[in-house]
Each structure stands twice: as C-alpha cells, then as structure tokens.
Amino acid sequence: MSETPLDLLAMAAHPDDAELTCGGTLARAAEQGYRTGILDLTRGEMASRGSPELRAEEAARAAAALGVPVRANAGLPDARLENSREARMAVVEHLRRLSPATVILPWPRGRHPDHRVASELARDACFLAGLRRYDGGPAQRPRKILYAMAFREDPVKPTFVVPLTEEQFRRKIDAALCYESQFEGATAAGEIFPTGQPLVERIETASRHYGSLIRAPHGEPFHTDETMRVEDVMALGVRSL
C-alpha cells in the first residue's frame, strides 16, 4: 500500500496553506535531499475566488516551485471540515500510503475553523495510523509532529526556528504567487491579518522577524509539544550575548 516513504509531509486544510506557513522549510528540506510532500485536506471549493480545478493547477505549480514531488488531496469538504470517523479514516489512508517520518501540522488555534479542525484531525489520524487493527492496517505512524507557527499572534515562543536563505525564501514567495486566483492584489490570507502592506511584504516582515531570532536572514517558527533533547550543550546554536 505504501509508496516510497516520505521524510517530511506538510498537512494543511486548503491548497496554499502549507506554502504560507512552512513553504521555506519544505524548500530547504528538498535541497537537503529529503523526500517531501504536501497533503491538502480540502480542495478549497468554498473560496470566494477561483475554482477547485484552478486551485489544483495552482497547487501543482506551487509544489514544483518548492521542489516538492508529492502532493495529494484528501477531498474533505471545505468550510465543513470535521474531526469525524470518516475524515480520520480518509487521512489515515493517505498517511499509510505516504509513510512520512515527520509531519508538519497547522497550529491548533486559528480564525478559520478549518485550520483548527485540520490540526486536531491530522494529529488524531497520525496516531490511529499506527494502530495495526485500525481499518485493516498496516500500522504506520510518524515519529515526529511539528506545528507550524508562522503568523501566529498567540504569546507562545517557538520551540525552534528553521533558518532560510534568501533563495529559499524566494522559492516560498514564488510558490505563494502561483495562487493568482487567491492572492493577486491581496493584503491578507488565511491567518495573515492585514497591515496595509501588500501580502508579499507582510510575509517577508514575518519571515525576517523569525529569522532575526536565530541570527538568520529569514526563518519559519515551529512548536513541539515534547521537550527537545540536546546531546551536546557546546554545539547549541544562536549566540546569547
């Protein structure tokens, strides 16, 4: 049932969500030789602009811009996403087929209901996919869950920030701009509240902020529920003083 296992899989509610929250990390991982993928839970059919067919074309171009070879869609209902048994089974099927070692999930809070539900649904599916007797198996559970924190306004400090080069950030922007139907002339998107800046400038402001926390040009923030383990305190990055 499984394809060639993925090293890293980003799961998101809508096409374009992964590009905005962790596109740079996906591009970086691809450059490092990891096999990457994106699983969109819905087709985004309730969006005010564009169509599911157009968004699918844009999603394919965006994945190519990031160097992501695998993109799938669970076909769950947009704006009506629920953490139901049927939805969990659909996501489990994809997880067992893609066999990711690490997954990136949406932040558990968000103004769009689908974003909040997607986080809980995807996490539950990750656990259930590891139960041998659940829906006929086989057992396949990711070893690591990361939560993308980009554009969050919650007072939560990232567990870590992934550094991005200028080129990796540019690939993230190129991927986002593939969604012309959604972002042309936009000043806000998803969890990105408007500030009066064009959307690309808004994305860059956040990217440079998180990069500054680790003394890098750009960065994408992530959270893990579990405490990170450090083998060598002498090898810790980011200068303190």
Task: Confirm whether 210 is domain-assigned.
Answer: yes
Could you tell me the residue range of the domain that residue 76 belongs to?
8-221
CATH number at residue 119: 3.40.50.10320
Task: Confirm whether 213 is domain-assigned.
Answer: yes
Task: Confirm whether 240 is domain-assigned.
Answer: no
Stretch 55-76: mean pLDDT: 98
What's the longest Cα–Cα distance across the chain?
Answer: 55
Query: Tens digit of pLDDT for each residue in 71-104?
Result: 999 999 999 999 999 999 999 999 999 999 999 9
Query: Tens digit of pLDDT for each residue in 114-153?
Result: 999 999 999 999 999 999 999 887 999 999 999 999 999 8
Task: Confirm whether 233 is domain-assigned.
Answer: no
Strands, sheet with 160-164, edge to edge from the N-terminal-most edge strand: 70-76, 36-42, 8-12, 102-105, 144-148, 218-223, 160-164
The Cα angle at residue 158 between residues 239 and 35, in degrees rounded to 5: 95
What's the gap between Cα 172 and its chain centre? 12
* pLDDT for residue 235 is more than 80: yes
85: part of which helix (H) or strand (E)?
A: helix 85-98
pLDDT of residue 23: 98
Query: What is the per-residue burial (b if ≥16 Cβ within 10 Å, else e) of 77-102?
Result: ebeebebeeebbebbbbbbbbbbbeb
The per-residue pLDDT of the chain, averaged, comes to 95
* pLDDT for residue 45 is more than 80: yes
Look at the chain and report how many structural domains it folds into.
1
Task: Confirm whether 197 is domain-assigned.
Answer: yes
Stretch 3-15: mean pLDDT: 96
- What letter would DSSP give residue 96? H
Distance CA 226, CA 123 (A): 14
Task: Confirm whether 231 is domain-assigned.
Answer: no
pLDDT of residue 192: 87
Distance CA 3, CA 203 (A): 34
Distance CA 142, CA 132 (A): 14
* pLDDT for residue 1 is more than 60: no
Stretch 177-205: mean pLDDT: 90
What pLDDT band is residue 157 in, cutting at 50, 70 and 90? very high
The reported pTM is 0.95
Task: Confirm whether 3 is domain-assigned.
Answer: no
* pLDDT for residue 36 is more than 60: yes
3-state secondary structure of 138: coil
pLDDT of residue 184: 87
Task: Confirm whether 153 is domain-assigned.
Answer: yes
